[in-house]
Amino acid sequence: MKEKNGLSMNGYIAVLVILIIALCALFSVPSNPAWLLLLGIDVACLLGLFMVQPNQGRVLMLFGSYVGTVKSSGLRWTVPFFIRKNISLRLRNFESSRIKVNDAHGNPIEIATVVVWSVKDTYDATFEVDDYVMFVNIQSEAALRNMSSRYPYDQQEGHETALRSDPEVVSQALKFEIQDRLNKAGVKIHEARISHLAYAPEIASAMLQRQQASAIIAARQKIVDGAVGMVDMALTQLSQRDIVELDEERKAAMVSNLLVVLCSERNTQPVVNAGSIY
């Protein structure tokens, strides 16, 4: 069974009908048995009035059986014998606690998420799970644990998807993971994002040194690539413009000097030769 529209009508029309019945009862002969019948019907009809706020629903039940859900906002009227349970259809936020898990490389990390959700099927939310709010909280944290174990914290290979470097991909994967677990509870996930991500304290210092070393290596590699290109350009232009003829030994010395100048972390101090180069 799935959600269906509950039996209800406009409450203002119902109030008008109740007033008409009350007037009929007042103008009836007190000794007439119909007077008591009309009065009893009028009081019973009053019990069928209820309010529905925007983005909320009322689940109707009769002797333990599901009758339907009323989502039309405003003053409504239904059969007085129906039990009416209020359920919110508004957006809600859930922020998980920081949990410690192992990423795809086995490194312990701390991670937390923020989930935006709402009820889409009132029947499933009411009758398929005992407490749908608690169900959302527990299943969201379980999905976060499962998802985070499939990705590394940081990229080790250039093509690898990681928690820190690919937040959009990870958010979509987390959203699908949570949604798959909460379909049975009639809940729709609108957004799921990582709100906290860090290495566990016991390895944070070592991983920071590793990141610094990786950054230094990447920077050095870029500097060397640029220096080699500049040296090649210098030798090519000297040869094409016939500025100076250099033998292999002089070319090697020039390459060595240029690489030292371009790759050094400090400003170099040149030595000027005032005599002949031979």
pLDDT in tens, 92-113: 999 988 888 888 888 888 899 9
Instruction: Give the pLDDT of residue 174.
Output: 92
* Residue 4 counted as domain residue: no
Question: Same structural domain for residues 158 and 219?
Answer: no
Residue type, 236: T
Question: Same structural domain for residues 191 and 258?
Answer: no
* Residue 255 counted as domain residue: yes
The DSSP element (H or E) to which 106 belongs, if any, is none
Question: Same structural domain for residues 135 and 195?
Answer: yes
| Strand pairing category for 92-95 and 108-119 | antiparallel
Question: Same structural domain for residues 75 and 106?
Answer: no
Question: Same structural domain for residues 97 and 194?
Answer: yes
Instruction: Give the pLDDT of residue 41.
Output: 79
pLDDT in tens, 239-277: 666 666 666 666 676 667 666 665 666 665 566 555 555
* Residue 156 counted as domain residue: yes
pLDDT in tens, 3-54: 888 888 888 898 898 888 777 777 765 656 667 777 777 788 888 899 999 9
Question: Same structural domain for residues 158 and 217?
Answer: no
This prediction has a pTM of 0.68
Kindly tell me the sign of the dihedral angle through the C-alpha atoms of 47, 49, 54, 56: positive
CATH of the domain at 193: 3.30.479.30
- Rounded distance, CA 241 to CA 40, Å? 113
Question: Same structural domain for residues 192 and 141?
Answer: yes
Kindly tell me the sign of the dihedral angle through the C-alpha atoms of 50, 54, 59, 60: positive
Highest-confidence segment of 30-39, 85-94, 227-236? 85-94
Question: Same structural domain for residues 223 and 192?
Answer: no
* Residue 59 counted as domain residue: yes
CB contact at 8 A, 49 and 14: yes
Going by pLDDT thresholds of 50, 70 and 90, the confidence category of residue 197 is confident
Alpha-helical runs (H) found in 32-166: 33-46, 122-123, 132-148
Q: Is residue 220 predicted with pLDDT exceeding 90?
A: no
Domain boundary among 199, 220, 244: 199
Domain boundary among 85, 103, 134: 85
User: What is the residue whose two structure tokens read 């409450």?
Assistant: 11
What are the backbone angles phi and psi of residue 227, rounded to the nearest 5°?
Answer: -65, -45
Instruction: Give the pLDDT of residue 37.
Output: 73
CB contact at 8 A, 171 and 202: no
* Residue 270 counted as domain residue: no
| Strand pairing category for 56-62 and 65-70 | antiparallel
* Residue 274 counted as domain residue: no
Question: Same structural domain for residues 195 and 208?
Answer: no
Q: Is 166 exposed, middle or buried (0-12, 13-18, 19+ CB in 10 A)?
A: middle
* Residue 273 counted as domain residue: no
Question: Same structural domain for residues 99 and 193?
Answer: yes
Question: Same structural domain for residues 67 and 117?
Answer: no
For residue 227, the enclosing domain spans 204-263
- The two tokens of residue 147 are 């998802």
Could you give the number of structural domains in the chain? 3
Q: Is 40 exposed, middle or buried (0-12, 13-18, 19+ CB in 10 A)?
A: exposed
Domain boundary among 85, 120, 151: 85
Question: Same structural domain for residues 156 and 233?
Answer: no
User: What is the residue whose two structure tokens read 């101090």?
Assistant: 269
The DSSP element (H or E) to which 5 belongs, if any, is none
CB contact at 8 A, 69 and 123: yes
- Rounded distance, CA 170 to CA 194, Å? 8
* Residue 180 counted as domain residue: yes
CB contact at 8 A, 103 and 151: yes
- Rounded distance, CA 108 to CA 201, Å? 9
User: What is the residue whose two structure tokens read 């936020």?
Assistant: 93
Going by pLDDT thresholds of 50, 70 and 90, the confidence category of residue 162 is confident
